Amino acid sequence: MRFTQFFRITARLPRLHAPFIFTVLPAAFACAAAHPGFAAVHAQDEGLALTPPMGWNDWAHYQCGFTAQTILANAHALVERGLAAAGYKIVTIDDCWMQKDRDAKGNLQADRKRFPQGMKPVAQTIHAMGLKFGIYEDAGYATCGGFAGSGEPKDGGNAHFLQDARLFASWGVDYLKLDGCNVYVPQGGNEDAAYRKAYAAEKAALKAVGRRIVFSESAPAYFQGIPAWYDVLSWVRGYGQLWREGDDIATFDAKDPGHQRFSSVLWNYAYNLPLGRFQKPGNWDDPDFIIGGDGGMSLAETRSQLALWSMMSAPLILSSEIGKLTPQSVAILGNRAVIAIDQDPLGKMATLVQRSPAVDVLLKKMTGGDYAVAVLNRGLAPLEVNLRPMDLGFPHNSGCTLDARDLWDGTPLRSASILQAEVASHDTAIWRFHPLRFCGVPARFGTITMVVAGEHHDIEGYSRCLAAPGLVQDCTGTGAETWTIGAHGALKAGGQCLTAAHGKIAMRDCTAGNAQHWIHTLAGNLVGADGKCFTAGSLDSLPQNLSMQLCGRNLPNQIWSLPN
């Protein structure tokens, strides 16, 4: 397949200097006003997880099959194999570490068989290796595995958030993953409110104990696929530094160690990618563990997971048996040039520049005017990639050259006018580049997508693309699906602008002023000058009729993802 076909771009892109009004509305600050505690809590968090957390967690490989020895052996292997030095430093013990019941004083108790010396010496040993220590708890009355949770008991009584936070601080916990099974919702109560109350209580408890503990929230994962998801995604950023938004990544099964797991990687990537607007330094979308290198993942798939997670600025939390990773897997997972893309201080989510039936092209803006670009081959046939500057949002190709580096083999490309690679099935090419003179200013450029509600657990079924005549369709990768975000929030494709006129939508020359100004809200709405929302028809049928309608609350056919 010649890749150039995918990148015939019809729109000539203007230079963009003006600051975009096209930013996310600060809903979090609106909630700060409504919740006076917010500002103080926020100040205490300053500097926590300014880049995505990196480390290891037992769950996806071992589930409940671990002891203190398992944890320490993996911590040791992180150090021995150079992965800790590459950044993987937080060692977190997931569910099943405790007894079902609390002690007479109401304290959590570490499982005596797994942790015969208790938890503190484990934490001390981990710290002595130069690593950080993380632990799992739950915002409900029981964890997902049925162990004692920190949350409100279902039959009355008090929650244990503060007591548990004190215990964790006394052990030297640096990172808390708070899951969301079994959250007590009073009869007739609202689930979103019950979760919010519990996560806010944990945040307050962490503040009260005064130890700087990175707080990972699983709340949004309990709302995936329903409208309230977007409300939860909007409030978690006020309490913690990262949050799981959805399904678990496939776990390792010792009875069937080779069962393929890449489709699960693609699914978690698919649901994480449209959530870029919720993310910023100190606040990270978390698509779950890195299982690359473990059973059921080829080397190509391992490269893909690390590259995709890094393009998304996702937390990099390995969950495999570190001592058993092959040297090739360790080299991939420890690739510092790729990790640097993940850890870039701007913390941007990648933009989906183009999606065709087998290929995703991602672009990420980074500090110092650098960019990263990745090409994922989801298909079964190998692919030849040829990317030119205009394919990535630069105004022209002629004279524009890039200083680039292929991040897998490290090959530098000086003054390249095209990025080329062969990409094997399920593999991902990734480059970092810096545009040289004559490139112009790149536009905010790429697809505008809509999530299709329902149970689509694959990339193709999950997102649809806005196409230039004014349609929502399956993404095909044509230029009609490639949009440029202009000054004043203009949405341009094929040289024309998306225009709202008398409740209808059309593509018109970009001269219609207000009718072509759009504001993208944190909730994902595209709001026109008349205050109405850009709306698709029923998402079950294609193609879609688009119109301007009153803005509803979290209506799936009014929620759009734009280039970041």
142: contact with ligand GAL by CB under 6 A = no
Residue whose CB is less far from ligand GAL, 94 or 360: 94
Q: Which of 144, 317, 349, 493 binds ligand GAL (CB under 6 A)?
A: 144
Rounded to the nearest angstrom, the gap between the alpha carbon of residue 278 and the centroid of all alpha carbons in its chain is 9
User: How many whole angstroms separate alpha carbon 537 and alpha carbon 408?
Assistant: 43
Q: 65 or 513, CB closer to ligand GAL?
A: 65
- Could you tell me if 211 and 176 are in contact, meaning their C-beta atoms sit under 8 angstroms apart? no
CB of 255 to ligand GAL, least distance (A): 19
> Looking at 138-146, 481-489, 502-510, 512-520, which segment touches ligand GAL (CB under 6 A)?
138-146
Under a CB-based contact definition with an 8 Å cutoff, are residues 166 and 209 in contact? yes
What secondary structure letter does DSSP report for 222? G
Q: Is residue 321 part of the contact set for ligand GAL (CB under 6 A)?
A: no
Residue from 111, 191, 248, 406 in contact with ligand GAL (CB under 6 A): 248
Catalytic residue among 111, 247, 248, 474: 248
User: Would you count residue 94 as binding ligand GAL (CB under 6 A)?
Assistant: yes
Between CA 287 and CA 271 the distance in angstroms is 8
Contact set for ligand GAL, span 15-74 (CB under 6 A): 59
Six-digit token string for 238: 């006020």
CA-to-CA distance for 299 and 242, rounded, in angstroms? 28
CA torsion sign for 7, 11, 14, 18 is negative
Q: For residue 248, indicate whether it is catalytic.
A: yes
Q: Is residue 145 near ligand GAL by the rule CB under 6 A?
A: yes
Stretch that binds ligand GAL, among 79-87, 109-117, 141-149, 265-273 (CB under 6 A): 141-149
Q: Which two three-digit tokens encode residue 349? A: 């989510």
Q: How far is C-alpha 510 from the chain's CA centre? A: 34
Over the window 175 to 204, marking each residue x when it contacts ligand GAL by CB under 6 A and - when it does not, the resulting string is ----x-x-----------------------
State the nearest-atom distance from the C-beta of 218 to ligand GAL, in Å.
6
- In the complex with ligand GAL, the residue whose CB is nearer, 144 or 183, is 144
Does 137 interact with ligand GAL (rule: CB under 6 A)?
A: no
Q: Does 95 contact ligand GAL by CB under 6 A? A: yes
> Residue 372: exposed, middle, or buried by beta-carbon count in 10 A (0-12, 13-18, 19+)?
buried
412, two tokens: 């530098």
**Total interface residues for ligand GAL by CB under 6 A:** 11
What are the angstrom distances between the C-alpha of 218 and each of 24, 144, 296?
23, 12, 25
- 58, 164, 174, 179: the active-site residue: 179
Strands (E), 351-427: 351-355, 359-365, 371-377, 383-387, 402-406, 412-416, 419-423
Q: Please list the active-site residues.
A: 179, 248
Binding site residues, ligand GAL, CB under 6 A: 59, 94-95, 136, 143-145, 179, 181, 218, 248
